Amino acid sequence: MIEDVLLNAEKKMETTIEVLSHELAVIRTGRATPGLVDHIRADYVGVPTPLNQLATISVPEARLIVIQPWDKSCLREIEKAIMKSDIGLNPSNDGNVIRLSIPPLSEERRQELIRLVHKRLEDSRVAIRNLRRDAHNELKKLEKDKEISQDELKRASDKLQALTDTFIASAEKASADKESQLKEV
């Protein structure tokens, strides 16, 4: 019973870290990465489809993303989707490929993005703490229903706190890595 509660909490916390990693990958630094455009969905035959399923996304230079669609007919749709997205880049279409040139970030924009990283980190911390609270309430319910003893509750609570601390540290490390990338010129 205790193991089930802890395992469930751990899985949910892992999911929270995965979501944070995905959100941080989308935040643009001064360097080009395919992760900047992976989440964008273009209309393909009436179905919103992720770009990585419609085209080859490559990074030939540090400040350039090249998107080469497998089906040339969806080139305009991909271009429209990029313009509608929140990445703030203008696509250049030559009829075969789309090029996205990444301009260097201004200091003001860097600070804005760092604040965004901090906000995403805090959201993740709150989510992890909420998961800890839910798991702790489940453990208390087990103790109240006389399924576990007070000593088992205390040990399980300590394990849950250690688990929470581990995942919060993991979130903070991911955030610090992204922040250092943003501070790079």
Over residues 33-75, the pLDDT tens digits come to 787 787 788 888 888 888 888 888 888 888 888 988 888 888 8
* Residue 141 structural domain: 2-26+106-183
Q: Is the pTM of this model over 0.75?
A: no
Establish if 36 belongs to a structural domain.
Answer: no
Indicate the burial class of 153 (C-beta count within 10 angstroms; 0-12, 13-18, 19 or more).
middle
Can you tell me the distance from the alpha carbon of 82 to that of 11, in angstroms, rounded to the nearest whole number?
33
Can you tell me the distance from the alpha carbon of 24 to that of 175, in angstroms, rounded to the nearest whole number?
8
Can you tell me the distance from the alpha carbon of 91 to that of 110, in angstroms, rounded to the nearest whole number?
22
110 and 86 share one domain: no
Establish if 32 belongs to a structural domain.
Answer: no
Query: Tell me, what CATH number does 117's domain have?
Result: 1.10.132.20
Query: How big is the chain by its Cα radius of gyration, in Å?
Result: 22
Over residues 95-144, the pLDDT tens digits come to 888 888 888 778 888 888 889 899 999 999 999 999 999 999 999 998 88
